[in-house]
Chains A and B, each alone.
Chain A
Amino acid sequence: MYWPNGLSVVSAFVTLEPDMTTSSFSASNQRLGDAAKSSLHRRPNLPRNRWNALFTLLAALFAAIVVLPLVLVLVYVVIKGGSMMSLKMLTELPPAPGMTGGGIGNAILGTLVVSLVAALIAIPVGVGGGIYLAEYSKSGAFASFVRFGTNVLSGVPSIICGVFIYGLIVATRIFFDQSYSAMAGGMALSVLMLPTIIKTTDEGLKLVPQELRWGAIGVGASKFVTITSITLPTAMKPIATGIVLSIARASGETAPLIFTALFSPFWPEGLFSPIASMSVLIYNFAIMPYDVQIALAWATSFVLVMMILVMNIFARYLGSLNRN
C-alpha cells in the first residue's frame, strides 16, 4: 500500500492469477520473472504476505478481546459508581432497607482493617518462609516439599481458605467465644496471600548475586547479619512488589470473608466482632430489591476497583525504583 511503484506489478500479478494452478505455477513464475524478479517491492498477493496479514489481524483481534473486558468493566464501574462519589458516601453508614441516603464508610474501614490484619500475619510468615527457602534450606526434601506446597496453595480456591478458617476459628469460637470476627477474616486472607509472598521472596533472594553474600561473609558477617543487612535489602524491590500485589489480590476477595468476617451494618466494634467489608457489601447489596442498596453496591465496586488499581500501579512503581 505504501509502494506506488509496486502497484503496476501487483495489478499485473492479479490478472495472471486465475490460471495459476499448481502445475502451471513454475511457468507463470517464469513469465512473471521478467517483470517482477528484478523488483524488490513488496507484493501483497504473495501467499506468505497474505498469511502474514491474516495472522497479524487475528493476533490483533484476540488482543482486543483480551483488553475489552478490562476496559468495559472499568468504564461501566466508573459510570455507574463514580458518579455517586461524595464525602458522605465515603464516611457514612449504609441505610436500613427502605431508607435513603447513607454511605459505605464502614465497609471501606472494614476492608482496610481486615487487609491490615492479613498483611500483619502473612508478611512475617511469608517473608520468613521465603528466606528459609532461599538462604537456609540446602535444596533438600523438606524445601522442595515446601515449594510444592506453596504452588498448590496458590491454586487452592479462595472459598476453601474461608471454609478452613471457618472450621479452625469460627466454628470453634476460639477467640473469646466469638464466632465471626475481623480476626478470622484477616487470617483467611493471609492464607491467600502467603503463596505469593513466599514465592516472590524466594525468587527475589535467589536473584541476589552470590558474590554479595561472600563479600559480607568475607568481612566477618554472620549469616543472620548477612541476610538482614545485605541480602534482604538488596532484594527489597521484588519482595515489596510481591507483598503489594498479594494485598491487592486479597483485599478484593469475597468468598473467604463470607465465612469468617461475615458482615455488619455498623462501624467496626473491634477485631473480634463481625466486620463489614467492601466485597461482602457488594455481594449482599447487589441482590437486594432496593435501588438505594444497588446503587451503594455500584459505588462500592468503584471504590474497590480504584483501590486495587492504585495498589497495582504502586506495585509497578516499586518495581521500577532504582536500587541505590
Chain B
Amino acid sequence: MTTSMNPSSRPQSASAAPDTCLSLENVSISYGNGKNVAVNNVFMEIPKGKVTAFIGPSGCGKSTVLRALNRMNDLIEGCGLTGRVLFDGQDLYDKRVDPVEVRRRIGMVFQKPNPFPKSIYENIAFGARINGFQGDMDELVETSLRKAALWDEAKDKLKESGFSLSGGQQQRLCIARTIAVEPEVILMDEPCSALDPISTLKIEETMHELKKTFTIVIVTHNMQQATRVSDLTGFFNVTNMPDYEGKVGCLEEFGETERIFNSPAQQATQDYVSGRFG
C-alpha cells in the first residue's frame, strides 16, 4: 500500500501514466453468457488520489463497469468481460490473478447499507482480521470510524449491533469497514441513494477526507453530488449498436467534472447534465 501511494502534487494530465490507478482498455461486459451486452468499448484512465464519478441514465452500465473494477461481476453467473482492466499495470482479469486479493486492494461500498449482523466493533474488525491484521485492533477501529466520521456517534456503543445505527450511520459503518482493510481504491455504488439529505452530506464530507488517502470511484444518479464530490466525471449513455438488438451502454464522455458540466463536448452530455433527459 505504501509503495503505490506516491502522492503526486504535479498537475493532473490525463495521459500521465504514473498517476493512473485503473485503466480500462476497450472493455465490453455482457450478461447471460454473451447474449446481453451491457456496456461496450469503454476506454478510461482513472487517476490516483482523485474522486471519479460515473453518471448517466438508468441501464447505461455504469454500475456494471464499477463492479468490473474489483471483479464483483464474477459473482454473477454468465457475466463476461472482454478487453483489459489494468490496476497499477496489472491486468485484473489475468488468469493468475486471485479475485480475493483484488478485492482486498480495491474495496467496495454498496447501494444499500449492509452491515454484518455483528457488533459495530466486529463489523470493522472482521475485514482486518481476515486480512491478517496484527496491530492494535482497538486503534484500527477508532481510526477507521474517525475517517468515516462516525466515531463521535458510535464510540459509546461499539458493542451494540450494527443494525442499531440509522441508515446513514450504517452506510458510514460500511465505509469504515472498507477503510479498515486499507485498500488503495474504494468503489462506491450509489452510496447515498437510500439515505436522507443530511446523511448524504455527511458521507460527501467523508469522501472529501478520504480522497487524501484513497482513490475513489463513485456511481451516482445525483448530478449535484457528482459536482460536489468528484474531480473527474464519466458520462455513460445508452445507444443503439449496429447489428445488435436493444440498447447498449457506452462511455459518452470522460473528463474533468467542471468541463463535463460546464462545457461538454457532446450534445448528449449537455442534454443530460442540463436535465433535458435521463
Cα distance, A233 to B119, chains bound together (Å): 13
The answer to whether B174 has its CB under 8 Å from any CB of chain A is yes
A215 near B114 with CB under 8 A, answer: yes
* Nearest CB in chain B: distance from A14 CB, A: 61
Residue A211, interface by CB 8 Å: yes
Residue among B75, B77, B101 making CB contact with A217, cutoff 8 Å: B75
Q: Does A24 contact B (CB under 8 A)?
A: no
Partner of A209, one of B72, B104, B108, B114: B114
Contact check, B116 vs A218: say whether CB atoms are below 8 A apart: no
B70 located at the interface, meaning its Cβ lies under 8 Å from any Cβ of chain A in the complex: yes
Interchain CB contact under 8 A, B126 and A220: no
**Which residues 102-144 of A have a CB within 8 angstroms of B?**
138
Residues of B close to A220: CB separation below 8 A: 100-101, 103-105, 107, 127, 130-131, 181, 183
Name A211's closest neighbour in chain B (CB-CB).
B114
| Inter-chain contact A218/B161, CB cutoff 8 Å | no
Bound CA span A303–B133, Å? 52
Q: How far is the CB of A324 from chain B (nearest CB, A)?
A: 5
Within the complex, the shortest CB–CB distance from A128 to chain B, in Å, comes to 22
Tell yes or no: B110 within 8 A of A by CB. Answer: yes
Q: Is B50 positioned at the interface, with any CB of A under 8 Å from its CB? A: no
Given contacts A211-B112, A214-B72, A214-B110, are A219 and B117 in contact (CB under 8 A)? no
Given contacts A221-B130, A225-B130, contact A212 B178 (CB under 8 A): no
In the complex, A54→B114 CA distance in Å? 51
Measured CA separation A324–B109 after assembly (Å): 22
Interface: A30 (CB within 8 A): no
* A residues contacting the other copy or chain, number (CB 8 A): 21
Q: Is the CB of B100 within 8 A of A211?
A: no
Check if B62 is an interface residue, CB within 8 A of chain A: no
B174 touching A215 by the CB < 8 A rule? Answer: yes
Residues on B with C-beta less than 8 A from A324 are 117, 161
Whether, in the assembled complex, B177 has its beta carbon less than 8 Å from a beta carbon of chain A, the answer is yes
Distance between Cα atoms of A229 and B122 in the complex (Å):
11
Set of chain A residues within 8 Å of B116, measured between Cβ atoms:
212, 215-216, 230
B37-75 interface mask toward A, CB cutoff 8 Å, 1 = contact, 0 = none? 000000000000000000000000000000000101001
A residues in contact with B109, CB < 8 Å = 218
The 8 Å CB contact of A221, one of B75, B112, B127, B161, is B127
A218, B131: Cα distance in complex, Å: 12
A301 in contact (CB, < 8 A): no
Q: Give every chain A residue within 8 A of B103 (Cβ-Cβ).
A: 217-220
Residues of B within 8 A of A (CB): 70, 72, 75, 77, 100-101, 103-105, 107-110, 112, 114-117, 126-127, 130-131, 161, 174, 177-178, 180-181, 183
Listed by A's residue number, 27 A-B pairs whose Cβ atoms lie within 8 Å are A213-B75, A214-B72, A214-B75, A214-B110, A214-B114, A215-B114, A216-B126, A217-B100, A218-B103, A218-B107, A218-B110, A218-B178, A219-B103, A219-B107, A219-B177, A219-B181, A220-B103, A220-B104, A220-B127, A220-B181, A221-B127, A222-B130, A229-B126, A229-B130, A230-B116, A324-B117, A324-B161
